[in-house]
Amino acid sequence: MSILKESVGPNDVRIKINTVGICGSDVHYYLHGRIGPFIVKEPMVLGHEASGTVIEVGTNVKNLKVGDRVCMEPGIPDLNSRATLLGMYNLDPAVRFWATPPIHGCLRENGSSSGHVYLQVAG
Ligand SMILES: [Zn+2]
């Protein structure tokens, strides 16, 4: 899996990562290579609690623009799931998380994900 080939889809934004926190799950993956059924089988970028600046937006993204400062929600829901459409994307049973195999985290220069999961920071 190459993190350099990530493209920005119509519902995605690309973020220039400014700050990334390191939390307990990052430490577990680093020290033990797994958390429960999630096993690191190939190199994976850690970090899933981050803030940054929008540098690219997909054609369908209307709530963010280039230059917006944002913090990210590490859960990546299926935007068409019942839970997401009801406004409870965190309950989507298919939700995936940054820095949980096989999804790379955000301890890198930039990353892209659904514009739905970024929160704009005031100022
Ligand atoms: Zn965490």
34 CA from centroid of ligand 1 (Å): 14
Out of 3.90.550.10, 3.30.70.2860, 3.30.420.40, 3.90.180.10, select the CATH number for domain 9-120: 3.90.180.10
* Six token digits for residue 97: 């998380």
Q: pTM of this prediction?
A: 0.77
Q: Tens of pLDDT along 19-58?
A: 999 999 999 999 999 999 999 999 999 999 999 999 999 8
21 CA from centroid of ligand 1 (Å): 8
25 CA from centroid of ligand 1 (Å): 6
Contact (CB, 8 A) for 104 and 76: no
24 CA from centroid of ligand 1 (Å): 6
Q: Which of 45, 57, 46, 44 is nearest to 16 (CA)?
A: 57
For the chain, give every domain's residue range: 9-120
Q: Tens of pLDDT along 92-108?
A: 998 888 899 988 888 88
* Six token digits for residue 84: 């997401």
- Sort 113 into a burial class: Cβ within 10 Å, 0-12 / 13-18 / 19+: buried
Residues 6+ apart with CB under 8 A from 32: none
103 CA from centroid of ligand 1 (Å): 14
